[in-house]
Structure 1
């Protein structure tokens, strides 16, 4: 076959990881990657990520585990009831094979280093190139950018995040095609492609670890990952480096679930606002608020049940396809899993130009059910952290949880432990083996 040109729009963790996977597994095939980043450089929003065994298994396969582990931190995970008169810890989370945390920008740096090691000639980076739309034909995809330039590729992968222009164009195309025979279906497709609010505002802050130690030397945030449970709101804190603690204060209005959020997705906030919302939480939380620097408020949105991640020669990856709330600690991990499966499919020696639509359909078939399930698990876990009655396991009494009943909290913790088994029970390699079998069937029919 001739040269296969892959356009990746979005230079975040998912897009860069896809390039790393292609670099690792490309063999004799002539592949050229054009990586388009809307900003002037590679950058990540958000503070920290948590990597579980599923993600770490991919990093080992890609030869990145040592670089990752050298920069990551690992701490025990504690569940704590924080809005009672006498707060108490009620569960230490058991994580087979462990979980680790590190700053998102460090993860980005590791990926950039992997790509720069051999300065691969197949990778061309383009900064300040924001995709506006694309057009497909039988032979490829034409990309149109904000600066009025165009480019051509055999494959387009949209990894731009929740506001993905690739997704917007894909679903505009799907709706237009559906509208000729089913107007209702067309509107359903357009609606499914729109991000909606979870009802949660996340107030994000970074703490200087030494500053907090001086002010509150016994604060649990210093050397533990803690989930601070409360009715209608909760806090997550964990060190992401020797000098920095990531803290997220989450406040939920259940009536906001799946509504369209009005206003900017991110806005500056203040310590006074957070202190007021969390005034009935314990002293460790109040100390963290007092010692925080800048606080920003994020409207936590998600994309639920997107009906397809691929169309023809175009695929969606990461938050472009399945943006999720942070409670399952899986957003970056899911993007890495997407990149692993899609990259190995595209790098497979049996793939021809004519196979691309079928290859992307295999990616969709394998990845979409798993990522969609992670979106739902994350949403429900957030409700459990906030003791929302409609999110609780059968038989667990909300009134007793709110009052701090230790038996009910133990039952809740057991259910949450079970929901997290996904992270270590089965590995992405099994999904790749399934995808490869499907790909071999496609190649055999050609």
Structure 2
């Protein structure tokens, strides 16, 4: 039990990404003082589009963030599945109003930077949450009073700060994870993602409206409108042996076209429309590894980075934030036990979603007779039945 004025000690969060900022708001809603330490000196626009399914929106709604996203989010009515070999539509999955009626929250697609900006604005408006840029956690040491001492550095100083808990929300290449004994390193999947955004007014009308998923041998492509329907987000994924010191790099358009040389002309024309591409190595962290150690807990990509084949990376981090706060009420006495309870509750669900994403990766990239069988099943499937396959993911709320 903590005995030294526990209420005066903040919760420290390492990382000001989507998971870290959501956790800061959820913990503050419980009455905690929160300090968010982010090693970047400024928060810039990183990444591209992401999907906010009803499970994530249910958390953002409770934190009074969801309404501020409406102007920049987009709600596609359908996800259309296409053959990357023949160019023919295979199936349709209902989203939009159908999914919102089914689960009580919207299904939105949005630029990552727009979501982070909304969370950041809410943090700035929330007394009791202190965001410190250019600050990085270096190490931990125990306190004689049952707390934790975080050792950190900025450009100006190296300092110590007492806290009741440290939450590692510092992403797939988490340094906080190294403070957890027997931690799991991030693992390169052998797959990469080429990302671009293009103004929709520069593209044919067929690329507006619904989201699209194209399936091909050892590769696939996803596209959907973002920025309130003004831009198209494109993610072209392929199996490839590649790595870079930063695991991301700019890529030439010609390289992307070479990787997708056997695709339909419409898709190749779409890829030609962007002069700017970013290439990302797809890495994962096994959710089965340890997430907690004493007063320290990992969340989001630091604990369970997953492949994007279920589009739930951000969603799982947002869910983590809500459940972490549930287990850390303001009057929490045994912080290590509370963090272990958080891990016990979250780990089975996150592992299932991670396994679903890995299964989708195999299904999306089939070839030959298995791909023919997959496509046949899709053609005969009703849109509502395909939507219902993921009720257990989309129907989640913090109370369930």
Deviation at 1:106?
Answer: 0.8
Equivalent residues of 1:16, 1:112 under 8 A apart: yes
Per-residue deviation at 1:124? 1.9
Are the equivalent residues in 1 in contact too, given 2:90–2:378 (CA < 8 A)?
Answer: no
User: Is 2:212 the counterpart of 1:226?
Assistant: yes
In the alignment, what sits opposite 2:185? 194
For structure 1, list consecutive stretches of 5 or more residues without a partner in the other structure: 175-188, 390-396, 431-446
Partner of 1:143: 150
TM-score by length of 1: 0.79
Give the equivalent residue in structure 2 for 1:155.
165
Counterpart of 2:70 in 1: which secondary structure?
helix
2:286 pairs with 287, 300, 304, which one? 304
Match of 1:425 in 2: 395
How far the C-alpha of 1:44 sits from its partner, in A, is 5.1
Q: Is 1:400 aligned to residue 372 of structure 2?
A: yes
Conservation of the 8 A alpha-carbon contact between 1:387 and 1:401: no
* Partner Cα separation in structure 1 for residue 232 and residue 378 of structure 2: 30
Q: Is contact 1:266–1:298 with CA below 8 Å preserved after alignment?
A: yes
Query: Deviations along 1:41-82, whole A, 9 cap, x unmatched?
Result: 234521112111111111222222221233210112111112
Structure 1 counterpart of 2:221: 235
Q: Is the 8 A contact 2:72 2:226 kept in 1?
A: no
Query: Is contact 1:207–1:288 with CA below 8 Å preserved after alignment?
Result: no
With 10-19 and 94-103 compared, the bigger mean Cα shift is at 94-103
The match for 1:71 is 72
Higher fraction of helix: 1
Once the 2 structures are TM-superposed, how far is the Cα of residue 375 of structure 1 from its aligned partner?
1.5
Aligned to 1:88: 88
Q: 1:208 aligns with which of 189, 193, 199?
A: 199
2:216/2:367 contact within 8 Å kept = no
Is 1:4 matched with 2:9? yes
Matched, 1:103 2:103: no
State the SS of the aligned residue for 1:377: helix
- Specify the SS of the correspondent of 1:406: helix
Are residues 1:250 and 2:220 paired?
no
Give the C-alpha shift of residue 322 in structure 1: 0.7
Q: Over alpha carbons, which structure has the higher Rg?
A: 1
Contact 1:12 1:43 in 2 (8 A): no
Could you tell me which residue of structure 1 aligns to residue 59 of structure 2?
A: 58
**For the aligned residues, what is the CA RMSD?**
2.4
Equivalent in the alignment of 1:185: none
Give the 3 Å change call, closer, same or farther, for CA 206–17 of structure 1 in structure 2.
Answer: same
Query: Hey, what does 1:42 align to over in structure 2?
Result: 43
**CA pair 277-237 structure 1, distance change in 2 beyond 3 A:** same
Provide TM-score, normalisation by structure 2: 0.88
SS of 1:110's equivalent in the other structure is: helix
> Which residue number corresponds to residue 266 of structure 1?
248
C-alpha spacing 1:109/1:264, structure 2 compared with 1 (3 Å): closer
Q: Distance in 1 between matches of 2:30 and 2:377?
A: 50
What secondary structure sits across from 2:47 in the alignment? Answer: coil
2:121 is matched with 113
1:351 aligned partner? 332
Q: How many angstroms does 1:307 deviate by?
A: 2.5
Deviation at residue 406 of structure 1 after TM alignment: 3.5
- Tell which deviates more after alignment, 333-342 or 53-62: 53-62
| Of 23, 32, 43, the match for 1:18 | 23
1:359/1:201 Cα in 2 relative to 1: closer, same or farther (>3 Å)?
same
Aligned with 1:387 (options 345, 359, 366): 366
**2:239, 2:262 → 1: CA distance?**
15
CA distance in 1, matches of 2:367, 2:327: 41
Matched, 1:338 2:320: yes
Distance 1:14 1:357 in 2: 20
Q: Which residue of 2 aligns with 1:360?
A: 339
Q: Quote how far apart the aligned CAs of 1:251 are.
A: 0.5
Name the SS for the 2:171 alignment partner: coil
Distance apart, 1:373 and its partner CA: 1.8
Match of 2:268 in 1: 286
The offset of 1:204, in angstroms, is: 0.9
Distance of 2:284 and 2:114 partners within structure 1? 24
In the aligned structure 2, how far is the partner of 1:43 from the partner of 1:370? Answer: 31
